[in-house]
Amino acid sequence: MSRLADFFDTGTIARLPIVADLLTGNIQGLEYSYTSAHSITITKGNCYDSFNLTVLTGSASQVVAIGTTINKVYNLFLCDDGLVKTDTDVDGATLLAGSVTALRWIGFVKTNSAGAICLFEMTSDILIFPKPSENRFVSPLISTTYTAYSVASLVPVLRVTGITIAGEFSVEQVEGVVSKDGVSDFTRFSGNSFGPGHECQFVEGWYIKVPIVNYDNGYVVITKVTLKR
């Protein structure tokens, strides 16, 4: 009598590629930290590649140089040669068009208006921005009616599971409102002349307004993001 195992290569089944979505989870190590205006340090670690086919290993910590284009998102990938490399494409298309045959997205950094890395701190899969003014996505004079906003120029929105925002206003404490549909109030944030105040969650394409008119100049800023890696 044939056994069930005779009909299947169980070793192959365990490593079938993920077709519907790129692999996430089970990254060991590979956290990164701000080193200088143009470089970061990444700890050693390992993970499977984006399609669960190849084990990738960074056997030692490494310092990675970041490009100097202003206001640019640089995605970080552990590659099949054990090195972490950058690509402005969130799927690593430029790297894969070259000599890289397998990679895994492990995070991102963004440059500011001077081409330097926006200051950040990493805790587990959360990036905290101690200087959120580098991540402003609403210009001064925010509308008093709901307006949809995009943060795609600041974070790779398909690779994060949470975005936290707050306000920066040049006068007294001011409160802003967030809506999912542009009609109903959902949550609130605040800020004042000292910087960001009360934080709240935001999702790409949600709506923001500030109900009062005379608040001088103001901004909405990203204070932290949770990475989907």
* pLDDT tier for residue 227 given thresholds of 50, 70 and 90: very high
Tell me whether residue 115 is in a domain.
no
The pLDDT, as a whole number, for residue 122 is 97
* pLDDT of the residue at 157: 95
Is the pLDDT reported for residue 96 higher than 50? yes
Residue 75 belongs to domain spanning: 4-110
Amino acid at residue number 204 = E
* Total tally of structural domains belonging to the chain: 2
221: pLDDT strictly greater than 80: yes
Which CATH number does the domain housing residue 34 bear?
2.80.20.10
Would the pLDDT of 12 be above 80? Answer: no
- Read off the pTM: 0.87
Distance CA 105, CA 91 (A): 7
Q: 3-7, 19-23, 33-37: lowest mean pLDDT where?
A: 3-7
Percent of the chain whose predicted confidence (pLDDT) is above 90:
72
129 in the same domain as 105 = no
CATH of the domain at 178: 2.60.120
**For residues 56 and 38, what is the distance between their CA atoms, to the nearest angstrom?**
25
List for the chain the helix, strand, coil content (%; round to 5): 10, 40, 50
Q: Is the per-residue pLDDT at 215 higher than 70?
A: no
β-strand 195-196 against 207-209: which pairing, if any? unpaired
pLDDT at 4 (0 to 100): 37
Same-domain pairing of 209 and 131: yes
The whole-number pLDDT of residue 9 equals 40
* Same-domain pairing of 128 and 192: yes
- Residue range 101-110: mean pLDDT, rounded: 97
Q: Which residue has the tokens 């910087």?
A: 195
Among the candidates 110, 133, 151, a domain finishes at 110
Q: What is the dihedral of CA 59, 62, 68, 71, to 10 degrees?
A: 70
Domain co-membership, 14 together with 41: yes
Looking at the fold, whether 8 and 105 belong to one and the same domain comes out as yes
Average pLDDT rounded to a whole number, residues 11-21: 39
**Is residue 118 scored above 60 in pLDDT?**
yes
Instruction: Tell whether 17 and 59 lie within a shared domain.
Output: yes
Confidence of residue 142 (pLDDT cuts 50, 70, 90): confident
Q: Are residues 16 and 43 in the same domain?
A: yes
Residue 118 lies in a domain: no
The verdict on 130 and 99 lying in the same domain is no
Average pLDDT value over all residues in the chain: 88
Q: How confident is the model at residue 20 (pLDDT cuts 50, 70, 90)?
A: very low
Q: Is the domain of 203 the same as that of 152?
A: yes
20 shares its domain with 105? yes
